[in-house]
Amino acid sequence: MNVLLHQVLSGLATGGIYASVALALVMIYQATHLVNFAQGELAMFSTYISWSLIQAGMPYWAAFFITVALSFALGVLIERVIVQPVENAPILSVVIVFIGLLVIMNSLAGWIFSYTIKPFPSPFPTAPLFGNSYVSSHELGSIGITLVVLLLVFAFFRFTPLGLAMRAAAQNPVSSRLVGVRVGWMLALGWGLAAAIGSIAGMMVAPTVFLEPNMMAGILLYAFAAALLGGIDSPGGAVLGGFIVGVLENVVGSLLGTELKLTVALVLIVGVLVVKPSGLFGKVHITRV
Amino acid sequence: MATTSSTPNSARPALGRKQLFGLALLLVGGCVLPFLVSNYRVFQFTLVLVYAIALLGLNMLTGYNGQISLGHGAFYAIGAYVAAILMDKFGVPYWLTLPAAGAVCLVAGFLFGLPALRFEGLYLSLATFALGVAMPQILKYKGFEHWTGGVQGIVIIKPDPPEWLKVSQDQWLYFVALATLLILFLIGWNLLRGRIGRAMVAIRDQPIAAQAMGVNTAMVKSLTFGVSAMYTGIAGALGAIAIQFVAPDTFTVFLSITLVVGIVIGGLASISGAIWGALFIQFIPNVADQISKAAPWAIYGVFLIVFMYVMPSGVAGLIRILGGRLQRLRQR
Amino acid sequence: MAKILEVRGLHAQYGPTRVLHGIDFSVDEGGITTILGANGAGKTTTLRAVCGMVKTQGDISLGGARIEGKATESIVRLGVAHVPDGRGTFVNLSVEENLRLGAYTRSDKAEVAADFERMFGYFPRLKERFRQQAGLLSGGEQQMLAVSRALMLRPRLLLLDEPSFGLAPRIVQELFEIFRAINQQDRVSMLLVEQNAALALKLADTAYLLETGRVVISGTADAIRSDEAIRRSYLGY
C-alpha cells in the first residue's frame, strides 16, 4: 500500500510534466491542426538556457523567470519566421519542417553545450516535507508549480480579452478577422505560450533525469500519448491525460520494469488511435464527403 | 508535396531513349567504380546503395502513397537484426538473409499498416515517430537478450566472394548490393507503373474519390506499408552485413529522420531521387563531422527546412524542372 | 451627400476565376444601399471585397481613404463591421463571449457595457441566453447575435449578407425594423445584400442590381420599386 501510494504520487509529479507538455501540444494543435514535433527539443533548449544563466551566477528563480520570458520570445520568433511561411503547405511539408526544427535544436544544444550529462539544480529542499517517505520535496514542488502554471493558463484563456481572442482565432480565424483580431499574431502568441510552458516542464524534469540533449525524447512521446488520450483538441483533456499517463507509467513500470517504458507509450498511442482517436474528451470529427 | 508540374502526378516514370542511355551509362559507371577506388570508398558506396534501397521503400510509402512515416528506421533495424541473428545463431548464408529479412519486414509492415489505416497523416506520423523512438528500447529488452545480444549487439563475419571471382570482400558486397538494388528497382518501377501504382497515387491525392471508384483503399495502403517496410528491411540486412555489426543504439529515431532527409533531398515520388538522397545522407555527415559532432544534424535540419521552402520536389524534381526548361529552350 | 463608401472599377477573383467585372457603387453617409441579384451574381463577393477577403483590383474608399489591399483586420479597425453569410458565429463560445469579441478592438469599457444593454434592448432574447453556447441558439437568434456582434464594434459602416436567409417571415420583419431603427437612431450606414428584393427595397435608399458580376441597374430604391418592368423581369414580383 505504501509502495502504491509512493508510485501514485511520483506518477503525479511526472504526470504534471506530461500534462504541461501535452497542454503545449494541444494549444498549438487547436490553433493550427498541427502537432509540434519540436516541442520537446524547444523545452530542452530552454532548460539549457536557464542552466547557462545559473552557471553564470544568477540565482535560481531569476534564471527561471528570465528563461520563461526568453522561451516565450523564441516561440514567437519561430512561429513568425519558420512556421508561418509554410502555413498553407501540405501536411507532409509541415511535418518535415517541424522535424527539421527538432533536429536543429537538438544539434545546436549538443554543439553549444556538449553532449555530456549535466546535473540541474532543483529549487526545492532535498529533505522531504515533514520527513514523509512517499514523495520528495522536488516531486511535491514540481506538482505545485505545474498546477499553478496550468491554472494561470486556464485563467488567462477564460477571463482575459487576449485569451478570448486567441481561442476565437484558433476556432474560427475568418470570423476572428471580422472582429479585428490579428490572427497571425495570435498564432505567434500561442507558440510563445507553448514554448514558455514547455520551458517550465523542462526545468522541472531536468533535476530528475539530468540535463542532456536527448532528455526530452521520451517525455515528448508520453506527452503525445497524454494529448491523444485526453483528446488532441481538448486542453482540459490533455492535462488530465498527462496525469493519468504519469501514474500509469509509474504503476506499470513497477510491474513490468522500467526498460519498456517507451514501448508502453507506443502501445498507448497506437491503442488510443485505434480504439478512440478523439480521445476521452475530444470532439469527434465527421468529415463531409 | 507540391502538386506543381515538377512532381509527377502519374505513377508512370517515363523512360525515353535519352534516359535509357543515361541509365546504361550509370550502370556501366557503377560496375567499374569498385575497381577504381580504395576498399574503404567501395564500402562507403555500398552503403550508398543500401540507403538507396531503403529510400526507395520509404518513398513508395510517403512519396507515392502519401503516408508519412517517421519510424522507418525501425524496419531497417528489424531487417538488420534478422540478418544478424540468422547468420550468427543459425549459420544461415548471407544471401539467404536478404529475402528472409524482406519477408519478416513485409509481414511486420503490413501488420503495422493495418491499424494505421484509420490514421490520417498527422496521426500516422505520431504513431510511426513513437515506433522509431521506442525501437532501441525494444531491442535492448532483457527478455530478448539471448537473441539480440542486448546492448552490445551482434558481430557479423564478412562474407567471402565466390572463389572463381577475383575481387575483394568489399567489392563483392558492393556488387551484391548493386544487384539487389537493380532487382528491387525494377520490381518497384513495374509496381508503380501498373494498376497498383496508380491506385497508390490516387489514394495519396484524392483518397475519398479513390474509394468511391472502387479502389480497395485499406488493402492498398496496408500492402504499400508492407512492401515499403520490406524494401527497408532488405536494406537493413545488407547494411548490417556491410558494417558487420548491429547494436540497438545505431537504430534510434534519428535513423528514421535520416531516411526522411534522404527522400526529401532526393525528391518525393521519384525513383532516381533515391540515389541522390542516398549520396547525401552517406557523404554529408563525413564532411560535416570534421566541423563538429553536432554539425551533420544541424545541416540536416537546415536542409530539411530550406528544401521545403525552396525545392519541395527535391533534387530529382529540380533536374526535371531544369530538364524541362532546357528542352523548351532548344525548341525555340 | 457625403459618401461613406465609394467603389470604382472593382474586379474580384477567387484564384483564376473572376467573379466581379469592374463594378461601381457607393453608400451615402447615414444611408442604406442594397445590392440585389440572383444566386451567383457576385453579391457576397462584393461584400467580401470591401472587407479585403478576396483578391481585388480597383478602388475602394472608406470615408475618403483608400482601403483596397488592406488586411481584413485593419479594415475592421477602421469601422467596418461585416455580418457574413452563414453568420460566422463562434459556435463553441458563449453569447457573452461572442459579443465581447465584437467589441475586441474597443478600449472604452464603460461604453462597451452600455452597448451590451443596447443590444438587449434590440434583442431581449440575447439577454436570456447570455451564458449559453452560441451554437445551441436557433437560426433567428444566431442572426440576432451576429448583428449584435457587428454592432458592438460601433461601426461606421455595417455590411449585411443575406440577413433574411433561412428565417421565418415574422422574424425577418422584426429584424428589418430593427435595421431601420439602428440606421436612424445610431446613424449607422449600411450596405445590404439580399435576395429578398421586396424587403430590401422597402428598407434601402439606393439599390444596385448585379448580374454575373456586373451592375445592370442602379438608382434610388423608390424608383426601382415603382418601375413595373424592372420588377417583373429582374426581381420577379
Task: Give the cell for residue C130.
Answer: 447570455
pLDDT given for residue A105 in this prediction: 92
Q: Which range marks the domain in which residue A168 is found?
A: 26-220
pLDDT digits (tens, 9 = 90+) for B268-296: 766 778 888 999 899 888 777 777 767 77
Cα angle C74, C76, C82; round to 5:
145
Residues in chain A closer than 8 A to C94 (CB atoms): none
Rounded CA-CA distance B74/B224 in Å is: 16
Q: Flag if A104 and B301 touch (Cβ within 8 Å).
A: yes
Taking CA–CA distances from C102, the nearest residue in chain A reads: A179
| Phi–psi pair at C57, nearest 5 degrees | -130, 150
Looking at the complex, does the CB of residue C100 fall below 8 Å from at least one CB of chain A? yes
Cα–Cα nearest to C88, from C162, C189, C21: C162
Residues in chain C closer than 8 A to A177 (CB atoms): 53, 71-73, 76
pLDDT digits (tens, 9 = 90+) for C198-208: 889 999 999 99
> Is position A8 within any domain?
no
Taking CA–CA distances from A35, the nearest residue in chain B reads: B122
CA distance C105 to chain A (A): 6
Q: Flag if A171 and C153 touch (Cβ within 8 Å).
A: no
For residue B173, give Cα distances in angstroms to A247, B158, B159, B162, B178.
50, 9, 8, 11, 8
For residue B145, give Cα distances in angstroms to A91, B55, B100, B139, B248.
39, 30, 21, 8, 11
Model confidence at B16: pLDDT above 80:
no
Taking CA–CA distances from A166, the nearest residue in chain C reads: C101
Touching A (3+ Cβ pairs <8 A), the chains are B, C
Residues in chain A closer than 8 A to B125 (CB atoms): 35, 37, 95
B173-192 residues labelled b (16+ CB within 10 A) or e (exposed): bbbbbbebbeebbeebbebb
> Is position B325 within any domain?
no
Q: Percent of chain A beyond pLDDT 90?
A: 50
> Is position B182 within any domain?
yes
Q: How confident is the model at residue B39 (pLDDT cuts 50, 70, 90)?
A: confident
- Do C and B make contact via 3 or more CB pairs under 8 A? The reply is no
Q: Whole-number mean pLDDT of chain C?
A: 91
Rounded CA-CA distance B198/C213 in Å is: 41
Q: How many CB atoms lie within 10 A of CB C55?
A: 13
Substitution target in C76, C94, C104 with the highest count of A β-carbons within 10 Å is C104
For residue C209, give Cα distances in angstroms to B144, C7, C204, C230.
79, 15, 13, 10
The residue with cell 521520451 is A218
Q: Flag if C97 and A164 touch (Cβ within 8 Å).
A: yes
pLDDT given for residue B11 in this prediction: 44
> Is position B220 within any domain?
yes
> Is position A96 within any domain?
yes
> Is position B274 within any domain?
no
CA distance B141 to chain A (A): 7
Q: Flag if A260 and B138 touch (Cβ within 8 Å).
A: yes
Looking at the complex, does the CB of residue C105 fall below 8 Å from at least one CB of chain A? yes
Model confidence at A242: pLDDT above 90:
yes
Model confidence at B81: pLDDT above 70:
yes
Model confidence at B127: pLDDT above 70:
yes
User: Are the CB atoms for A146 and A16 separated by under 8 Å?
Assistant: yes
Substitution target in A171, A172, A179 with the highest count of C β-carbons within 10 Å is A179
Q: How confident is the model at residue A65 (pLDDT cuts 50, 70, 90)?
A: very high
Rounded CA-CA distance A72/A194 in Å is: 8
CA distance B295 to chain A (A): 7
| Phi–psi pair at B245, nearest 5 degrees | -165, 135
> Is position B197 within any domain?
yes
Looking at the complex, does the CB of residue B209 fall below 8 Å from at least one CB of chain A? no
> Is position A215 within any domain?
yes
Rounded CA-CA distance B234/B81 in Å is: 11
Q: Flag if C153 and A180 touch (Cβ within 8 Å).
A: yes
Q: Flag if C73 and A167 touch (Cβ within 8 Å).
A: no
Q: What is the mean pLDDT of residues A10-18?
A: 90
Q: Flag if A93 and B312 touch (Cβ within 8 Å).
A: yes
Residues in chain A closer than 8 A to C93 (CB atoms): 164, 167-168, 171
Residues in chain C closer than 8 A to A172 (CB atoms): 88, 90-91
Touching C (3+ Cβ pairs <8 A), the chains are A
DSSP β-bridge partners for residue C215: C210
pLDDT given for residue A66 in this prediction: 96
Domain count, chain B: 1
CA distance A109 to chain C (A): 39
pLDDT digits (tens, 9 = 90+) for A192-237: 999 999 999 999 999 988 999 989 988 999 999 999 999 888 888 8
Facing A217 at nearest CB: one of B131, B133, B296: B133
Substitution target in A108, A220, A270, A278 with the highest count of B β-carbons within 10 Å is A270
Rounded CA-CA distance A50/A54 in Å is: 6
Rounded CA-CA distance B215/B86 in Å is: 38
Domain count, chain A: 1
pTM (two decimals): 0.85
Q: Flag if A171 and C92 touch (Cβ within 8 Å).
A: yes
Residues in chain A closer than 8 A to C89 (CB atoms): 175
User: Are the CB atoms for C162 and C131 separated by under 8 Å?
Assistant: no
Looking at the complex, does the CB of residue C82 fall below 8 Å from at least one CB of chain A? yes
The residue with cell 484524392 is B206
- B:135-194 residues touching chain A, CB 8 A cutoff: 137-138, 140-142
Model confidence at B200: pLDDT above 90:
no
At A214 the three-state DSSP class reads coil
Q: How many CB atoms lie within 10 A of CB B113?
A: 23
Residues in chain A closer than 8 A to B119 (CB atoms): 273, 277
Q: What is the mean pLDDT of residues A104-120?
A: 90
pLDDT digits (tens, 9 = 90+) for C127-169: 999 999 999 998 889 999 999 999 999 999 999 999 988 888 8
Taking CA–CA distances from A93, the nearest residue in chain B reads: B308
Rounded CA-CA distance C124/B215 in Å is: 55
Instruction: Identify which has the larger pLDDT, B266 or C47.
Output: C47
> Is position B293 within any domain?
no
Residues in chain B closer than 8 A to A261 (CB atoms): 137
DSSP β-bridge partners for residue B261: none
Task: Encode chain C in three state secondary structure.
Answer: CCEEEEEEEEEEEECCEEEEEEEEEEEECCCEEEEEECCCCCHHHHHHHHCCCCEEEEEEEECCEECCCCCHHHHHHCCEEEECCCCCCCCCCEHHHHHHHHCCCCCCHHHHHHHHHHHHHHCHHHHHCCCCEHHHCCHHHHHHHHHHHHHCCCCCEEEEECCCCCCCHHHHHHHHHHHHHHHHHCCCEEEEEECCHHHHHHHCCEEEEEECCEEEEEEEHHHHHHCHHHHHHHHCC
Query: Which of A195-209, B213-227, B231-245 is least confident?
Result: B213-227
Taking CA–CA distances from A97, the nearest residue in chain B reads: B305
Q: What is the mean pLDDT of residues A63-70?
A: 96
Q: What is the mean pLDDT of residues A92-115?
A: 89
pLDDT digits (tens, 9 = 90+) for C46-100: 999 999 999 999 999 999 899 989 999 999 999 999 999 888 999 999 999 999 9
pLDDT digits (tens, 9 = 90+) for A121-135: 988 888 777 777 777
CA distance A188 to chain B (A): 19
pLDDT digits (tens, 9 = 90+) for B298-320: 888 888 888 888 877 666 666 67
DSSP string, B14-41: ---HHHHHHHHHHHHHHHHGGGTS-HHH
> Is position B2 within any domain?
no
H helices within chain A, ranges in order? 2-32, 39-55, 60-78, 91-113, 137-159, 161-171, 173-178, 183-209, 217-230, 235-256, 261-275
pLDDT digits (tens, 9 = 90+) for B83-126: 999 988 888 888 889 999 999 999 999 888 887 776 677 788 88
Strand C206-211 and strand C189-194: pairing?
unpaired
Q: Flag if C93 and A161 touch (Cβ within 8 Å).
A: no
Facing A180 at nearest CB: one of C77, C91, C92: C77
pLDDT digits (tens, 9 = 90+) for A137-155: 888 888 899 899 989 998 9
Looking at the complex, does the CB of residue C81 fall below 8 Å from at least one CB of chain A? yes
Model confidence at B153: pLDDT above 60:
yes
Residues in chain B closer than 8 A to A34 (CB atoms): 122
pLDDT given for residue B9 in this prediction: 46
Report chain A's terminal Cα–Cα distance, integer Å.
Answer: 53
Q: Which range marks the domain in which residue B175 is found?
A: 36-157+168-248
Residues in chain B closer than 8 A to A37 (CB atoms): 70, 125, 129
User: Are the CB atoms for B238 and B98 separated by under 8 Å?
Assistant: yes
H helices within B244-272, ranges in order? 253-266
CA distance A218 to chain B (A): 8
